[in-house]
A and B are shown apart, each in its own frame.
Chain A
């Protein structure tokens, strides 16, 4: 199903072979660049392919190995970075005209960590503008197409990174997840996608959409690769005040354990709206876990269904503030005018797309005098309800299983002019962003039109080891 040029290797296998010299990083990079050359014109996963830079990085790594120096634990592992992660000197656009061509003078912490580990960045991937969307149709530079069916969307907002992994353009992709922007495209593209606990991974250098919800996470072809990625990029960053100041246990070790005796929760009051093919795959997933020795228990999360509303008041509110800095003064696009206020209005009107404007308007309104209590204030309370409901559920279950996306990948333009229809894509992913808890999508067979279906594993705060154990069991049991 994937266009990967080689039988699938894990990232750790690749790194091991580069480190011991049995594989050349240069060869790995050439293979991926060839895959990109073959299909990128039709898929458009990237805003920018970094062919020369990747070759240079590979050469450097191979030279280090030849000299007996340590090239890092991820030596030769190719990664694609969502274009909302700052890369020093390399254009970082958030797929928006307002940042077209902008070169950050600094690297995001995660980018530094990956480079220091020997990972090779092959490109900056396309996204819905400023991470606002569920299909990557909101990109100012054209959509990304699903490698499984190019008439369909890859999901969003991290559609480019998901597609890159699915199409074999890179071993790993990195995205950001605010309401499902890693998990949903992972499901639609048939890859693993993880949103960790809020604060697990540094947000420094991740261009903010909604500060209390955003997290960086990996796209991979295997649960093991995701575990390795989080082991590498997870951890405290003193440059991020919301970063959790604790060491995290190894997830690569956690996935060695099976799920015998674990309690897997089925949310009986989950909002409806999932297509029958998706529901069917979820049932098989429950069966798989049961067969692996887990116990299936019924739980309720009554406030789950209000997650969409709370999210679409909280996230745009924070975004309206986070995106106010795009004013044409210090960086990015500027439309000149007679005075600064006029410049702001003209610049932002020209630089932002419709969905971004819509969310800024909604967020500004929700925070404004006289409306705060009715909208933003209320949404924060609903957030508390959701979080409390999850806490109660996790007293009776170790992990929860839900659909990731209500449907398989849909056709371009299928959601029409109605923003609300698009928002429903995130029904199952949003609540765990609100509670700050981890979630991951695991590819689990196919649904309508032979398209990939993902199931979502949810777990409590910092319960990534539990979540990954379940994901690994699903992966082992999946019919491919």
Chain B
């Protein structure tokens, strides 16, 4: 349990914004519970704040590869019927979705 003097690392307002970014709907009490759990985790993860990372280069690759390229040659495509058969909704050879509203 985080101590009362520990800084709150994630507020319900921020959690709500994060939930929207992630397109996850939560009931209000779920979101409260989730926020508390995340806050607890972030409190635990604060152990790395003690490290001096000022001169450390981030590691983004496990194995150092460069220039992996592919020849520009057509390969067989998937069968549209097989793919659309797995789709929740399809019409006219296309995926059907509810109206798209708002930018992005």
A residues whose Cβ falls under 8 Å from a Cβ of B: 102-103, 105-106, 197-199, 212-213, 238, 241-242, 244-245, 306, 309-310, 312-313, 320, 324, 327-334, 336-346, 348-349, 352, 357-358, 360-362, 364-365, 368, 375, 377-385, 387, 419-420, 434-436, 461
Task: Give the distance in Å from the alpha carbon of A320 to the alpha carbon of B21 in the complex.
Answer: 10
- Tell me whether B87 and A357 are in contact (CB under 8 A): no
Q: A330-B88, A360-B22 are in contact. List 7 more A-B contacts (CB 8 A).
A: A197-B63, A306-B48, A312-B41, A339-B101, A381-B56, A382-B51, A383-B58
Nearest 10 A/B pairs, CB to CB: A436-B62, A380-B58, A334-B88, A198-B62, A344-B23, A345-B25, A384-B59, A349-B25, A381-B56, A383-B59
- Majority DSSP secondary structure for residues of B touching A: loop
- Tell me whether A332 and B58 are in contact (CB under 8 A): no
- Tell me whether B10 and A348 are in contact (CB under 8 A): no
- Tell me whether B89 and A334 are in contact (CB under 8 A): yes
- Tell me whether A368 and B18 are in contact (CB under 8 A): yes
- Tell me whether A420 and B41 are in contact (CB under 8 A): yes
B residues whose Cβ falls under 8 Å from a Cβ of A: 10, 14-15, 17-19, 21-26, 34, 37-38, 40-42, 44-45, 47-49, 51, 53, 56-63, 65, 68, 70, 78-79, 82-83, 86-89, 95, 97-102
Closest approach, in angstroms, between the C-beta of A239 and any C-beta of chain B?
A: 9
Q: Which of B34, B45, B95 contacts A309 (CB 8 A)?
A: B45
Report if A361-B59 is in contact (Cβ < 8 Å); known contacts: A103-B86, A345-B25.
no
Report if A361-B24 is in contact (Cβ < 8 Å); known contacts: A378-B53, A380-B58, A382-B48.
yes
Residue of B nearest to A336 (CB): B98
- Tell me whether B57 and A361 are in contact (CB under 8 A): no
Closest approach, in angstroms, between the C-beta of B79 and any C-beta of chain A?
A: 7
Task: Give the distance in Å from the alpha carbon of A365 to the alpha carbon of B56 in the complex.
Answer: 23
Task: Give the distance in Å from the alpha carbon of A349 to the alpha carbon of B48 in the complex.
Answer: 32
